[in-house]
Structure 1
Amino acid sequence: MKILSFVLLLFSLVVLPAEANSGHASPLNDLQAALKKLKPGQFLWYPEISPQGPVTVVVSLTEQRAYVYRNGIAIGVATVSTGKRGKETPTGVFTILQKKVEYHSDLYDSAPMPYMQRLTWDGIALHAGNLPGYPASHGCIRLPMAFAKKLYEVTGFSNTTVIISDAKSSPVEVYHPGLLAPQVSEGKASGPASPAVEPYWSDPGETLGPIAVLISRADRRAYVYRGGTQIGSAPVALDNPGARTGVAAFSLLERPSPEQLASPSPNLRWSAVQVSNPQAGLTPAEQLGQFSMDAHFLHSLLLAMDVGSTLVITDLPSSRETRSNPDFTVITTNDRQAVPASIKK
């Protein structure tokens, strides 16, 4: 395994006040000093560094910062305000479920929540709001107004992953032929049997949205979702079933080529983010080559994957509770209410 490069390129960002919608770019001589000087409502934004590609937003609850990466390269960072005590913002890996430029709360006196981007159906979202310099929301991630507008313009339903974590982790670009690898022996995945152990695949096509893959080491199984609906599942064989990996999220940077689809061990290009504290498990690089799955299932999965497809590896078992409970969401699913809950502010 090999990490080819660290792609954090924040050195040429510019500092903008919250009310600024334009400005002159000025190179930063000392990035860390500039980050420390950010006041509530300020942000850094320079999308020209990486003009296209899948977007990953990493929200650090401890730092009260949101970091934006496109194609694995940092293009911005902003001060934020997350959930206050008793109304904590949930940690986990999310996709964007709904977007509205103009949104008003029906819980808090029609409070405006511009550039709302819903992360959960029970009311957690990114939106512009008041930034006092500390956690003060009812669970949402409040952003500077101008930054919220800029972020809204680069995110999408099929190309964006939002990671909320207690620790800030920069994406690392990785290539590895064993991240998704076929089983080379006949036998089934190691570990106890579970219902419906055989692989299945029923993909309705791209109209339902992007592919997201959840690999649960506890279940020894991979689950595939499209637009929040499960479309496939297969057992996985673990090289080291007793190891702890925490939670890591991988975003696909390039669609598999015909040559990669024909390869028994496709060498794919990913942007990886450690979601849980690295002390609580292996780093993303250390997780490479740790598991394999049925070759036919893997081929179907690779055919369905595209730029921005998300892979989440976790020690947690897969259930509705572990996928979408208030404490830690490992993937957004389509457990949608008939009427979506109001945004929590």
Structure 2
Amino acid sequence: MALHLVPLGFVTLSLLLPASALAQGARASSPVELARQAERLKPGEWVWAPEISPQGPVLVTVDLSAQTATVYRNGVRIGVTTVSSGKAGHETPTGVFTILQKDPHHRSSTYNNAPMPYQERLTWDGVALHAGGLPGYPESHGCVHLPLEFSKLLFGTTRLGGTVIVSGRAGALVGGASAGVLEPEGGSRGPHVPLAPDESYRWQPELSPSGPLTITLSRSDGRAIVMRNGIEIGRARVTLPDQSFETHVLTYVAGGAGTEPHWAYVAVPGHEGDEGRPLDMSVADKARMPEAFRKAVLGAIVPGTTMLVTQAPVLPASSGGKLTVLASEAAK
């Protein structure tokens, strides 16, 4: 009789995690097959198709309304999974986050040393992606639970500083009215240094010389905020056009054979039909900002850069809730 040896660590983990966290997934080999399987996922299920786009920058989006997460590589969807986000009183914050830390063997310092396999930290106050229970509804204390095998695949695909977008609202009807691409819902934020009254922009790329770039444009505040590797390197006063630039997420895609690098829309709640559509540059050209700031940002953009255009406020002086933009306070 053959003897199969299993590492003790995995046996222990298997006993501690709910059975739903160990659910099997499916592989796909084409965008059509992935889409077909993604449409009928049940709690704990996932589909993974890395061969569709084998190289390029990675972007992860989490839809709290649908309790799903989607992985894009070079602007192409390569994976979809069901998730379980924060329950009432512990809601997962929405916003644009960076992966601050990765630890495949992490354990909670707050909840009885509970295992959090393949943890990818989004905030220093405890919100992360990791393997966990998947009952089909929000049940975590704020983290985003993933199937164990999917969390392992995702862990091997992302890198520190990568962008994760959390949007929607847990408990909202899927297909119902969207709460906006990113509903402002509190959460910790990085330090805010406002522009002086006579200051139209600030550009300090030396604060973070390398890493993933994220640009947030807030129409309600008239501000652009640029983060690199989770650290703010620039902000400016901007004016955005009314049409098309309401609430969207875009990623800068590396050009393929015969194509140039370009901005492409990412599908998020309320804008599912956007996926893969190139940005109309005639609309983008109507955005007004200091010319020196525009040139500096254009020089920093590389494939994988993410841009969020939103109505949500980002300034502390704004009324109402604020959008979480890359919660990346100094490590405690």
Q: TM-score, normalised by structure 2?
A: 0.71
Q: Following the alignment from structure 2 to structure 1, what is the Cα–Cα distance between the partners of residues 66 and 93?
A: 15
Cα shift readout 1:67-109 (whole Å, capped 9, x = no counterpart) = 1111111111112111112222222222211111110012211
Q: Following the alignment from structure 1 to structure 2, what is the Cα–Cα distance between the partners of residues 25 and 121?
A: 35
Post-superposition offset of 1:205: 6.6
SS in 2 for 1:83: coil
Name the structure 2 match of 1:115.
Answer: 118
**Among candidates 278, 287, 294, match of residue 291 of structure 1:** 287
Q: Is 1:331 the counterpart of 2:328 in the alignment? A: no
In structure 1, the gaps of 5 or more residues are 1-16, 170-192, 256-266, 340-345
CA, structure 1 residues 46+32, in 2 after alignment: closer, same or farther (shift >3 Å)?
A: closer
Name the structure 2 match of 1:247.
Answer: 247
Q: Following the alignment from structure 1 to structure 2, what is the Cα–Cα distance between the partners of residues 28 and 68?
A: 13
What amino acid is the match of 1:232?
Answer: G
SS in 1 for 2:152: helix
Work out whether residues 64 and 167 of structure 2, in 8 Å CA contact, stay in contact via their aligned partners in 1: yes
Q: Give % identity.
A: 41
Q: Is 1:156 the counterpart of 2:159 in the alignment? A: yes
Cα shift readout 1:176-235 (whole Å, capped 9, x = no counterpart) = xxxxxxxxxxxxxxxxx9724323322117545332222221232322222333222222
Q: Following the alignment from structure 1 to structure 2, what is the Cα–Cα distance between the partners of residues 203 and 89?
A: 30
SS in 2 for 1:153: helix
Select the structure that is richer in strand. Answer: 1
Structure 1 segment 144-183 matched on structure 2, within 5 A = 144-166=147-169
SS in 2 for 1:291: coil
CA RMSD of aligned residues (A): 3.6
CA, structure 1 residues 244+318, in 2 after alignment: closer, same or farther (shift >3 Å)?
A: farther
CA, structure 1 residues 18+125, in 2 after alignment: closer, same or farther (shift >3 Å)?
A: closer
Cα shift readout 1:40-74 (whole Å, capped 9, x = no counterpart) = 32211110110011212222222221111111111
What amino acid is the match of 2:301?
Answer: M
CA, structure 1 residues 61+202, in 2 after alignment: closer, same or farther (shift >3 Å)?
A: closer
Cα shift readout 1:125-147 (whole Å, capped 9, x = no counterpart) = 10001112221111111001000
Name the structure 1 match of 2:215.
Answer: 213
CA, structure 1 residues 68+203, in 2 after alignment: closer, same or farther (shift >3 Å)?
A: same
Q: Following the alignment from structure 1 to structure 2, what is the Cα–Cα distance between the partners of residues 27 and 229?
A: 36
CA, structure 1 residues 141+124, in 2 after alignment: closer, same or farther (shift >3 Å)?
A: same
Post-superposition offset of 1:29: 8.1
**Among candidates 264, 289, 295, match of residue 271 of structure 1:** 264
Work out whether residues 84 and 138 of structure 1, in 8 Å CA contact, stay in contact via their aligned partners in 2: yes
**Among candidates 128, 131, 134, match of residue 131 of structure 1:** 134
SS in 2 for 1:157: coil
Name the structure 2 match of 1:182.
Answer: none
SS in 2 for 1:238: coil
CA, structure 1 residues 99+26, in 2 after alignment: closer, same or farther (shift >3 Å)?
A: closer
**Among candidates 75, 83, 91, match of residue 72 of structure 1:** 75
What amino acid is the match of 1:273?
Answer: V
In structure 2, the gaps of 5 or more residues are 1-19, 176-194
Post-superposition offset of 1:333: 4.1
Name the structure 2 match of 1:185.
Answer: none
Whose RCO is larger (CA < 8 A, sep 6+)? 1
Q: Following the alignment from structure 2 to structure 1, what is the Cα–Cα distance between the partners of residues 25 and 35?
A: 23
SS in 1 for 2:227: strand
**Among candidates 91, 96, 99, match of residue 93 of structure 1:** 96
Q: Is 1:227 the counterpart of 2:229 in the alignment? A: yes
**Among candidates 190, 203, 206, match of residue 204 of structure 1:** 206
Work out whether residues 163 and 212 of structure 2, in 8 Å CA contact, stay in contact via their aligned partners in 1: no
Cα shift readout 1:232-285 (whole Å, capped 9, x = no counterpart) = 222223344xx6955322221239xxxxxxxxxxx8512323656359xxx995
Q: Following the alignment from structure 2 to structure 1, what is the Cα–Cα distance between the partners of residues 109 and 317?
A: 27
CA, structure 1 residues 213+33, in 2 after alignment: closer, same or farther (shift >3 Å)?
A: closer
Q: Following the alignment from structure 1 to structure 2, what is the Cα–Cα distance between the partners of residues 118 and 80?
A: 16
Q: Following the alignment from structure 1 to structure 2, what is the Cα–Cα distance between the partners of residues 321 and 254?
A: 37
The number of equivalent residue pairs is 280
